[in-house]
């Protein structure tokens, strides 16, 4: 899940980005509206966190204009402006949530995760527990079990496995994995995906569930797709 944070206070922006990355999200961080506009045109974000007052003005005006153009990405406004009128204005201008500074980091992460999952659920609501063969992924509790045994995964490993499980039986390319699970600092041609998949395979154990489809990417399922190559790569 990829998130954009728009915050002109560098220290706060880095802290927010670090907290979200700690929850397994891919985070891009920019400091003003022009940079945010460029980012949303290039990338597909599950959620955007906007500071209200930015160097180019109040971000609610930018969001309102984008909404008029049909932009539907969930927005959380993060601001010190805490009056009822300010909160109402945020929602009326297209905001989906509003969090007042100072805030609890755990609450921020929970709200962003909630908005992001709502954004990704383009069809029926995603099941809270995803199952593939004997693999069970409890999304709300962020727990993974294989044959009933609880596994210990990093936040990034969980994010990748959740994406695989939501598309079980489908081939997921490396570029798609980077787009949804890494931020702009990841190099598309690097081996970060292969390394993480190797780690996931080791932790999931056998029989293998993550299969390499040569020239295409990876597939999560009981059996490899036709033409798949089960070699551990990276």
pLDDT tens for residues 132-150? 999 999 877 788 999 999 9
What is the b/e burial string over 41-58, where b = at least 16 CB atoms within 10 angstroms of the residue's CB? eeeebbbbbbbbebeeeb
Give the helix ranges, DSSP H, for 121-191: 155-166, 174-181
Please tell me the least confidently modeled range out of 38-52, 95-109, 149-163, 179-193.
179-193
The tokens 């990748």 sit on which residue? 160
Evaluate whether 130 touches 166 at the Cβ level (below 8 Å). yes
The contacts of residue 172 (CB under 8 Å, 6+ apart) are 163, 164, 217, 218, 219, 220
Q: Which of 3-7, 24-28, 115-119, 128-132 has the highest mean pLDDT?
A: 3-7
Q: Are strands 135-138 and 129-132 parallel, antiparallel or unpaired?
A: antiparallel
pTM: 0.58
Contact 168, 132 (CB under 8 A): yes
Q: How confident is the model at residue 81 (pLDDT cuts 50, 70, 90)?
A: confident
Domains and CATH numbers, the chain: 2-120 (3.40.50.2300), 129-229 (1.10.10.10)
pLDDT at residue number 94: 87
- Would you give the DSSP letter of residue 80? S
Tokens for 46, please give them: 């599950």
Sheet of strand 210-213: strand arrangement? 171-172, 217-220, 210-213, 228-229
| Residue 174 three-state SS | helix
Q: Which whole-number Å values give the CA distances from 205 to 95, 139, 190, 209, in the listed order? A: 43, 20, 25, 9
């Amino acid at each position: 899940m990829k998130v954009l944070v728009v915050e002109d206070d560098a220290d706060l922006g880095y802290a927010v980005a670090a907290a979200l990355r700690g929850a397994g999200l891919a985070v891009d961080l920019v400091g003003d509206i022009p940079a945010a506009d460029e980012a949303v045109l290039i990338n597909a974000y599950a959620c955007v966190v906007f500071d209200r007052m930015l160097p180019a003005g109040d971000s609610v005006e930018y969001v309102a204009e984008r909404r008029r153009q049909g932009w539907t990405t969930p927005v959380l406004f993060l601001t010190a402006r805490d009056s009822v009128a300010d909160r109402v204005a945020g929602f009326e201008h297209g905001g989906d949530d509003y969090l007042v500074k100072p805030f609890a980091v755990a609450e921020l992460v929970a709200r962003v995760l909630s908005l992001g999952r709502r954004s990704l659920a383009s069809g029926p609501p995603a099941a809270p527990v995803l199952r593939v063969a004997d693999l069970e992924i409890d999304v709300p509790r962020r727990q993974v079990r294989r044959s009933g045994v609880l596994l210990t995964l990093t936040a990034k490993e969980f994010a990748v496995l959740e994406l695989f499980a939501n598309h079980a039986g489908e081939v997921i390319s490396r570029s798609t994995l980077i787009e949804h699970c890494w931020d702009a600092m990841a190099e598309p041609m690097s081996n970060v995906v292969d390394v993480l998949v190797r780690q996931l395979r080791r932790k999931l154990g056998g029989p293998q569930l993550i299969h390499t489809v040569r020239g295409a990417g990876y597939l999560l399922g009981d059996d490899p797709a036709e033409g798949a190559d089960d070699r551990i790569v990276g």
